[in-house]
Amino acid sequence: MADQFEIEIAIEEPGHAAQLIDLGVHRIELCSNLNEGGLTPSAAQIEMTVDVSDLPVYVMLRPRAGDFIYNRLEKHMMLEELKILSDCGATGIVFGALDGGRNVDAEFVELVAQFAQDYGLAMTFHRAFDACVRPETAMELLVELGVERILTSGFAPTVAGGLPALKDLVEQAAGRIQIQAGSGVSAEVVDDLWTAGIRSYHCTARMKIPARPGTVEEKLGFGDYWSLDRKKIEDLNNALWRKLA
């Protein structure tokens, strides 16, 4: 890793992707419905994002909001989506699944991993990990299956509250799998995350632009839209480079 750290930005608007490489971003996580924690985007979203950016594009593989315990139909949908994501040019997937006991759904996750490898897709296990009751065991399984990284807040709502756990996870990972911090990541927490051993940083970086007052859209309640928060990314990147100075 040339920069000795990585920044990944979660987006849902392909138009934002083209700006990220100039802001020092290393990878894109593409989702729909970020307000729901991120769901699988459309084929058109993936194709357009890949077309406008040279960055690796990891696509969220998540059929619905809510918990990570999926029924047979939802699992079938996820497996069917994998070829579509590959055909659209995705570099990798971001996924996760738990069983009824809130352990990693080993059988299904292994199947997803096999399909992903067949399609040449790299893998990130998302924050389903934070809801897992046996994270140490889960990590060992994910290492065995060839998963690249685990996205985690350290079992807290945000990384600021999960620092001790993140440090422990980095120690257990021991370079075999990347521990990527996500939820509440910004320049303000870089020092603490760096001290915990985190070198991979994930966040959304967007701000809501309200509808123009007096427009029909404002009156009907659907005029707001999201813009890329360039300053948040610049501040995060600068804070990380200062750690290397």
Does residue 1 belong to any structural domain of this protein?
no
**Percentage, residues of the chain above pLDDT 70:** 99
Does residue 177 belong to any structural domain of this protein?
yes
Per-residue pLDDT tens for 47-60?
A: 999 999 999 999 99
Does residue 147 belong to any structural domain of this protein?
yes
Does residue 227 belong to any structural domain of this protein?
yes
Q: Is residue 96 a contact partner of residue 127, using CB atoms and an 8 Å limit?
A: yes
Task: Report the predicted TM-score, pTM, of the whole model to 2 decimal places.
Answer: 0.94
87 φ/ψ sector (left φ>0, alpha ψ -120 to 50, else beta): alpha
The average pLDDT across 31-39 equals 94
For the chain, the domain total comes to 1
pLDDT at 212: 80
**CATH number assigned to the domain comprising residue 199:** 3.20.20.380
Mean pLDDT of the chain: 95
Nearest Cα to 153, choosing from 143, 164, 162? 162
Distance of alpha carbon 180 from alpha carbon 129, whole angstroms: 12
Does residue 218 belong to any structural domain of this protein?
yes
pLDDT at 16: 95
Q: How confident is the model at residue 2 (pLDDT cuts 50, 70, 90)?
A: low
Per-residue pLDDT tens for 131-168?
A: 999 999 999 999 999 999 999 999 999 999 999 999 99
Q: Name the DSSP class of 39.
A: B
Query: Which residues constitute the domain of residue 40?
Result: 6-244
pLDDT at 245: 85
Q: How confident is the model at residue 222 (pLDDT cuts 50, 70, 90)?
A: confident
Check pLDDT > 60 for residue 1.
Answer: no
Check pLDDT > 80 for residue 3.
Answer: no
Strand blocks (E) in 114-155: 122-125, 149-152
Per-residue pLDDT tens for 196-212?
A: 999 999 999 999 888 78
pLDDT at 243: 96
Q: Which is more confidently placed, 83 or 216?
A: 83
Per-residue pLDDT tens for 94-133?
A: 999 999 999 999 999 999 999 999 999 999 999 999 999 9
Does residue 173 belong to any structural domain of this protein?
yes
